[in-house]
Amino acid sequence: MMIRSVVVGCGSYLPERILTNADLAKMVDTSDEWIVERSGIRQRHIAADNEKTSDLAIKASQAALKNAGLTADDVDLIVLATATPDQTFPATACRVQAELGMTRGFAFDVQAVCSGFIFALATADNFIKAGQAKTALVIGAETFSRILDWTDRTTCVLFADGAGALVLRAEEGKGNTDDRGVLTTHLHSDGRHNDLLYVDGGPSSTQTTGHVRMQGKEVFRHAVVNLADVVKETLAAVDMKPEQIDWLVPHQANKRIIDGTARKLGMGTERVVLTVDHHGNTSAASVPLALAEAVADGRIKRGDVLLLEAMGGGFTWGSALVRW
Ligand code: UT7
């Protein structure tokens, strides 16, 4: 017997405003053809001026709690992944906690940029397995549009805004891969690559918020290798074969990276959840947004085995294998 973190609800929120590649072509020297060919992105959602990361997170959380048939009173842990918090401090998770009307338990943010949701999920899973939380809300939420340099065509066409959330509940499992819930998680970082993907500002260095800077080609190269490694490590840890995975739910940075990972696993596109075309790269929100979409349209069903993976600034990368 062992405690498992079983997913009992999921939800998401996307800001109303849609920015198309054609819109971007009016702002910087780019084209729909270039963006689609290099990244697979066609459009993305951008938060309204008065919409903060916490606003997106709260809407996604309310949807997830409703989907779970629970209220904020049932939650004793919030882990929120974001690289675009409302304020330098307190944690955006505490703002979400207050707005949801949750007055007990504890809430905090994790910072692993695009891998943030995987890090948050692994953290919540470990608190649950340690018996320190029973019901956890795990959120990925970003207003990445706020840290983009809208004159830099190498980054501003890629990133976007949104939020997704899962509700996890402690349940007893047998300890094998037939259990529902989080089956295994694997986290990695390598701080030597700071300069390939970073924000050129911060409270301690420049006292400004800063803008995203990325050496795209280099990040791409590392992403392909690191994601292949972590996927292999994940399957080996639970002695499963790629054929036993029902859905690959990858971080949505670039269609070419996703296709490459799927190809290495021998998984056809019919078993891959792809949202990068209409969401863009929403950093920590991308995996839960993809999950929520595939659950809502009936593709992901109870009992399915899902492989979640992501790679981002830090570098950070990781995976989670989940039986839905
Ligand atoms: O989520 C966190 C992790 N992030 C990622 O995983 C992103 C990884 N990187 C990528 O997805 C890709 O590297 C990009 C989509 C960012 C770029 O694709 P690429 O095939 O690596 O293109 P590139 O950076 O090598 O650029 C090719 C050309 C360059 O021109 P030259 O030097 O060949 O003359 C760029 O200046 O495309 C040019 N370019 C653009 N052209 C039109 C760069 N950005 C644009 C643009 N529109 N927006």
Ligand 1: residue whose CA is nearest its atom 18: 38
Catalytic-residue membership of 114:
yes
Kindly report, residue by residue over 28-62, the tens digit of the pLDDT: 999 999 999 999 999 999 999 999 999 999 999 99
pLDDT score for 236: 98
Catalytic-residue membership of 194:
no
pLDDT band at 92 (very low <50, low <70, confident <90, very high): very high
pLDDT score for 190: 98
pLDDT band at 133 (very low <50, low <70, confident <90, very high): very high
Q: Which of 56, 111, 76, 82 is nearest to 5 (CA)?
A: 76
pLDDT band at 214 (very low <50, low <70, confident <90, very high): very high
> Span 174-191, mean pLDDT?
98
Q: Residue 97 contacts by C-beta under 8 Å, 6 or more apart in sequence?
A: 78, 105, 107
Q: Which of 254, 323, 240, 249 is nearest to 293 (CA)?
A: 249
pLDDT score for 47: 98
Share of the chain above pLDDT 70, in %: 100
pLDDT score for 320: 98
Catalytic-residue membership of 251:
yes
10, 21, 45, 114: the catalytic one is 114
Ligand 1: residue whose CA is nearest its atom 2: 312
Mean pLDDT score across all residues of the chain = 98
Kindly report, residue by residue over 151-175, the tens digit of the pLDDT: 999 999 999 999 999 999 999 999 9
DSSP for 125-170 reads HHHHHTTS-SEEEEEEEEEGGGG--TT-HHHHTTB-EEEEEEEEEE
Q: How far is the CA of 39 from the centre of ligand 1 (A)?
A: 8
pLDDT band at 75 (very low <50, low <70, confident <90, very high): very high
Domains of the chain, CATH where assigned = 2-173 (3.40.47.10), 181-323 (3.40.47.10)
pLDDT score for 19: 98
